[in-house]
């Protein structure tokens, strides 16, 4: 990438008279100087480590001794021998499949409520957005653990209704649900985007639909959803990718173990355990690359599938 | 604007570079905080608050005696400690004086992280007052790589009131397994609190159980000393107790990590718990109620499943640039009577026999409880040399608990779980 970007202007330059090329080249140099923080950052902090991790994924590396080349061994072992790897895959898929739709549905519902002009809407918008600012933090995850743990608020509230579940975070049946609940609670970011999308829907469409006798449900299905579908796609892709990369909440809620019984062992958490508890950096790198490829594939599928349900204004489909 | 000379570009570049450098340098500044000729020794350990308070007191005494050495201390919980330490060691930023336990000692010795202490022995570091059975735990290939910080042994710590309420008394010469099983069920049935914390979670108690059956977790040459059948038998015993509230429920067991904050006993989800007596002071200071230590159950006093073990070791990093100062601190912590008085029994009873006699002679309260227990079970302790944990045992300990979680929550059967532990353990030992 960097190569072509550098050589292309240079070729153009040789074709031109020397007089005009000089200041231009200088200008470019200045541009690169100003870009340098990003260029240095991207190479040193992103591209370099990525390539290093690709190399490490073919090695056995424990941080102490130098990496030993093992070819595809890590990948083979991951898919054929590692029980916990599949526990992690199952937990992650369950997490993504449940949390993403719930989060988007809640975000859309709240966005629609806040779309109406009432008193105090501004306040409510900020209030509902706040959790997504806090949600990724360690402190909230700790609070979550306390809420759903022994003698926590959740247990007591359910106790009032005669339901005794005990400590939810310590039971495989419920532990992942608490992590999902934390993810859904942070619906603020997609909500704001939905809200912006809702503002763009022309009022005439609703009026026309109402005149034709469409009720609220029909208006939602026939006007809101199609008009909002590009925004929905955007949120869906973004949230899916985020969900696959989710780490902090599961790490804190399970005290870093992914337990009980691997029920909250999200993919990235297992990756972390392999890397920093077992010191199998090669294996962890291989896991990271599999995740990258799978998330990439899922994104492509989402975009492909989008042709069927995403509606863009001005496509002449009316 | 067009008239800009090339110098301008150079100046901008210089500016950008210097700003970047300034950032980098200021980032480095904080880590090299030694000045005025004083050496700074970094000393790290894990443990509960009572251990931290005592250790900081001892370190302050050391700094007073050696004004030319400053000690920077860090402590945390066990899991966080191991992660951070290993990352630091791998990154070439190892602390100078390191607290280790049996699995981490095996690991680090194997990876050449620890310095051979032979050079200091006899001059800065005195080991002659430390019993040979404790010292042997810090040896590998005949060389001393770490010094035991104390002596500990296995115990069952129990809530006296709950046991009394259930009408259970601890037999004078300890339980047999049959009596123990019955008594734990009795406690569970009569008090509503499980008799004891499910001891199937930690490989340590399996090791004790193996010793009672004339086996051991690892052989002298670092191989696996048990079969899947042994583990199946052990876990079947806990499974039978679990059904009748003899041991804690899975939700309580899954939290166990050796710390008092997650202990099922401290959280009142069990009336007793197996642990090492080096943790007794932590239990006593964080428990609401009266606790007492009893020996582990055993069918044969000659095979009690108990031994005098070093709770933790101190080792010096091979690549430390303050090895002499670190050795002085190590010697002070282990041999100095004042340090001994400050440390008390927060790492088990002192390893140095003279210091131990002095500390235990003057001990009151929590420290005295540890000394008394050690005194009481001294005759029951078996030899210490069969409890060595090789490189790879750290991963085995984690995996053991992991698989047991699957067992207690019914995700896998006891026999399949036992097979998995053996298979994974063999892989870990080969690494």
User: What is the phi/psi pair of residue B291, to 5°?
Assistant: -110, 155
Torsion angle of C-alpha atoms A62, A65, A71, A73, degrees rounded to 10: -40
d(CA B407, CA B283): 28
What the block records as the tokens of B39 is 């050496």
Substitution target from B94, B397, B409 for chain A, most A beta carbons within 10 A: B409
Interface of B with A (CB under 8 A): 2, 4, 6, 8-9, 12-13, 16, 20, 79, 82-83, 86-87, 89-90, 111-113, 250-252, 254-255, 257, 262, 267, 395, 398, 402, 405-406, 408-409, 411, 420, 431
d(CA A49, CA B17): 22
* pLDDT tens by residue, B333-349: 999 988 988 988 888 88
- Residue ranges per structural domain of chain B: 39-149+310-372, 154-306+392-430
User: What is the phi/psi pair of residue B292, to 5°?
Assistant: -145, 150
> Facing residues of B309 across strands?
B152
Closest Cα in chain A, distance from residue B52 (Å): 22
pLDDT of residue B11: 55
The residue assigned the tokens 């931290």 is B52
What the block records as the tokens of B142 is 């005949």
Closest Cα in chain B, distance from residue A100 (Å): 27
What is the b/e burial string over B299-318, where b = at least 16 CB atoms within 10 angstroms of the residue's CB? eeeebbbbbbbbbbbbbbbb
pLDDT of residue A23: 65
Partner residue opposite A279 with nearest CB, options B6, B86, B255: B86
d(CA A178, CA A252): 12
* pLDDT tens by residue, A127-174: 888 887 876 678 888 888 888 887 788 888 888 887 777 788 888 888
d(CA A97, CA B64): 61
pLDDT of residue A270: 94
Tell me which chain B residues have a C-beta less than 8 angstroms from the C-beta of A257: 402
Minimum CA–CA partner of A168 in chain B: B251
Tell me which chain A residues have a C-beta less than 8 angstroms from the C-beta of B12: 30, 33-34
Digit-by-digit pLDDT tens for chain B (431 residues) are 444 444 555 555 555 555 454 444 444 433 433 444 578 999 999 988 888 999 999 999 999 999 999 999 999 888 788 888 888 887 888 999 999 988 888 888 888 889 999 889 888 899 888 888 888 888 888 899 999 999 999 999 999 999 999 898 888 778 999 999 999 999 999 998 999 999 999 999 999 999 999 999 999 888 999 999 999 999 999 999 998 899 999 988 998 887 888 889 998 999 999 999 888 888 888 888 899 999 999 988 888 889 988 889 999 998 888 889 999 999 999 999 889 889 888 888 898 888 888 888 888 888 888 888 888 888 888 888 888 888 888 889 888 999 999 999 998 999 999 999 999 999 888 86
Alpha-carbon radius of gyration of chain A: 25
> What's the topology of domain B154-306+392-430?
D-Maltodextrin-Binding Protein; domain 2 (3.40.190)
pLDDT of residue B365: 82
- Taking a C-beta distance cutoff of 8 angstroms, is the pair A228, B372 a contact? no
* pLDDT tens by residue, A56-77: 999 998 877 788 999 899 999 9
Inter-chain residue contact A30 with B9, CB threshold 8 Å = yes
> What is the rounded average pLDDT for all residues in chain A?
85
- Domains identified in chain A and CATH numbers: 2-56 (no CATH), 82-309 (1.10.3720.10)
pLDDT of residue B35: 42
pLDDT of residue B12: 53
> Facing residues of A44 across strands?
none
Min mean pLDDT across A4-8, A212-216, A283-287, B331-335 is at: A4-8
d(CA B241, CA B238): 5
Alpha-carbon radius of gyration of chain B: 25
Tell me which chain A residues have a C-beta less than 8 angstroms from the C-beta of B408: 261
Closest Cα in chain A, distance from residue B276 (Å): 23
pLDDT of residue B302: 83
Number of alpha carbons in the 13 Å side-chain half-sphere of residue B76 = 10
> Any idea how long chain A is?
318
Q: Which of these, A251, A139, A236, A248, lies nearest to A189 by C-alpha position? A: A236
What the block records as the tokens of B148 is 């035991």
What the block records as the tokens of A72 is 């595809």
Tell me which chain A residues have a C-beta less than 8 angstroms from the C-beta of B262: 255
Tell me which chain A residues have a C-beta less than 8 angstroms from the C-beta of B404: none
pLDDT of residue A9: 46
- Taking a C-beta distance cutoff of 8 angstroms, is the pair B343, B333 a contact? yes
Coil, helix or strand at residue B158: strand
- Confirm or reject contact between A260 and chain B (CB < 8 A): yes
- Please give the angle made by the CA atoms of B41, B108 and B399, to the nearest 5 degrees: 125
> Facing residues of B176 across strands?
none
Minimum CA–CA partner of A82 in chain B: B424
Inter-chain residue contact A29 with B90, CB threshold 8 Å = no
Tell me which chain B residues have a C-beta less than 8 angstroms from the C-beta of A150: 267
Inter-chain residue contact B83 with A276, CB threshold 8 Å = yes
Inter-chain residue contact A23 with B2, CB threshold 8 Å = yes
pLDDT of residue A314: 64
pLDDT of residue A135: 63
Q: Do the domains spanning B39-149+310-372 and B154-306+392-430 agree at the CATH topology level?
A: yes
- Give the E-state strand segments of chain A in sequence order: 59-60, 68-69
CATH match for B39-149+310-372 among 3.90.1150.200, 1.10.10.10, 3.40.50.1360, 3.40.190.10: 3.40.190.10
Inter-chain residue contact B420 with A23, CB threshold 8 Å = no
- Taking a C-beta distance cutoff of 8 angstroms, is the pair B102, B387 a contact? yes
B-facing residues of A in 21-80 (CB < 8 A) are 23, 26, 29-30, 33-34, 36-37, 40, 62-65
Closest Cα in chain A, distance from residue B323 (Å): 20
Q: What is the pTM of this model?
A: 0.80
pLDDT of residue A153: 83
What the block records as the tokens of A240 is 């899916």
Minimum CA–CA partner of A29 in chain B: B9
Tell me which chain B residues have a C-beta less than 8 angstroms from the C-beta of A259: 254, 402, 405
What the block records as the tokens of B402 is 């992991």
Q: Is the pLDDT of residue A269 over 90?
A: yes
Report the share of chain A in percent with pLDDT over 70. 90
d(CA A41, CA A48): 10
Q: What DSSP character marks residue B178?
A: H
Tell me which chain A residues have a C-beta less than 8 angstroms from the C-beta of B86: 63, 276, 279
Inter-chain residue contact B251 with A64, CB threshold 8 Å = no
List the helix and strand counts (H, then E) for chain A: 16, 2
């Amino acid at each position: 990438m960097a190569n072509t970007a550098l050589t292309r202007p240079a070729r153009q330059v040789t074709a031109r008279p020397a007089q005009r090329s000089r200041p231009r080249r200088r200008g470019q140099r200045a541009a690169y100087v100003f870009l340098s923080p990003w260029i240095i950052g991207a190479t040193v902090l992103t591209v370099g480590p990525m390539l290093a991790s690709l190399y490490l994924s073919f090695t056995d590396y424990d941080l102490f001794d130098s990496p030993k080349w093992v070819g595809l061994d890590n990948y083979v072992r991951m898919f054929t021998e590692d029980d916990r790897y599949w526990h992690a895959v199952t937990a992650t898929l369950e997490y993504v499949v449940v949390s993403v739709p719930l989060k988007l549905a809640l975000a859309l519902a709240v966005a629609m409520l806040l779309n109406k002009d009432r008193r105090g809407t501004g306040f409510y918008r900020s209030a509902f957005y706040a959790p997504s600012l806090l949600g990724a933090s360690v402190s909230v995850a700790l609070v979550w653990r306390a809420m759903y743990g022994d003698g926590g608020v959740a247990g007591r509230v359910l106790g009032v209704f005669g339901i005794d579940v005990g400590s939810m975070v310590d039971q495989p049946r419920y532990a992942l649900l608490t992590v999902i609940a934390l993810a859904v609670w942070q619906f603020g970011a997609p909500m704001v985007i939905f809200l912006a999308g809702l503002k763009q829907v022309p009022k005439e469409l609703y009026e026309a639909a109402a005149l034709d006798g469409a009720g609220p449900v029909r208006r939602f299905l026939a006007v809101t959803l199609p008009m909002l579908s590009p925004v929905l796609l955007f949120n869906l892709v973004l949230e899916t990718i985020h969900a696959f990369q989710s780490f902090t909440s599961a790490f804190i809620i399970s005290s870093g173990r992914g337990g009980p019984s691997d029920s909250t062992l999200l993919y990235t958490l297992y990756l972390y355990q392999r890397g920093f508890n077992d010191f199998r950096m090669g294996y962890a790198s291989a896991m990271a690359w599999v995740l990258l490829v799978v998330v990439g594939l899922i994104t492509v599928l989402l975009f492909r599938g989008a042709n069927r349900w995403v509606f863009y204004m001005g496509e002449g489909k009316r | 604007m067009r008239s800009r000379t090339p110098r301008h570009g150079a100046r901008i570049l210089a500016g950008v570079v210097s700003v970047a450098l300034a950032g980098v340098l200021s980032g480095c500044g904080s880590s090299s905080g030694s000045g005025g000729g004083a050496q700074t020794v970094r000393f790290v350990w894990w443990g509960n608050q009572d251990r931290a308070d005592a250790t900081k007191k001892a370190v302050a005494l050391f700094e007073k005696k050696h004004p030319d050495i400053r000690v920077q201390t860090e402590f945390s919980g066990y899991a966080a400690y191991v992660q951070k330490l290993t990352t630091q060691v791998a990154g070439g930023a190892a602390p100078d004086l390191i607290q280790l336990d049996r699995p981490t000692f095996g690991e680090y010795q194997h990876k050449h992280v620890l310095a051979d202490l032979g050079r200091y022995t006899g001059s800065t570091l005195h080991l002659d007052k430390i019993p040979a059975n404790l010292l042997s735990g810090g040896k590998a290939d005949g060389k001393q790589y770490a010094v035991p910080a104390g002596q500990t042994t296995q115990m069952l710590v129990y809530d006296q009131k709950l046991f009394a309420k259930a009408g259970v008394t601890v037999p004078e010469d300890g339980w047999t397994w049959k009596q123990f099983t019955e008594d734990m069920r009795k406690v569970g049935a009569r008090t509503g609190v499980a008799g004891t914390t499910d001891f199937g979670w930690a490989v340590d108690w399996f090791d004790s159980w193996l010793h009672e059956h004339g086996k051991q977790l690892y052989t002298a040459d670092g191989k696996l000393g048990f079969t899947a059948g042994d583990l199946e038998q052990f876990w079947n015993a806990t499974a039978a107790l679990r059904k009748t509230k003899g041991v804690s429920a899975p939700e309580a067991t899954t939290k166990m990590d050796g710390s008092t904050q997650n202990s099922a006993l401290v959280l009142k989800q069990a009336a007793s718990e197996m642990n090492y007596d080096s943790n007794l002071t932590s239990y006593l200071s964080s428990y609401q109620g009266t606790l007492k230590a009893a020996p582990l159950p055993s069918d044969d006093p000659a095979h009690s499943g108990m031994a005098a073990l070093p709770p933790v070791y101190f080792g010096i990093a091979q690549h430390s640039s303050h090895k002499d100062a670190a050795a002085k601190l190590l010697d002070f912590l282990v041999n100095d009577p004042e340090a001994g008085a400050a440390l008390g029994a927060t790492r088990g009873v002192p390893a140095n026999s003279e210091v131990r006699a002095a500390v235990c002679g003057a001990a009151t309260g929590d420290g005295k409880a540890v000394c008394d227990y050690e005194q009481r079970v001294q005759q029951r302790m078996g030899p210490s040399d069969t409890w060595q944990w090789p490189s790879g045992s750290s991963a085995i300990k984690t995996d053991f608990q992991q698989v047991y979680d699957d067992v207690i929550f019914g995700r896998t059967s006891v026999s399949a779980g036992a097979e998995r532990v053996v298979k994974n353990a063999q892989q870990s030992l080969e690494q």
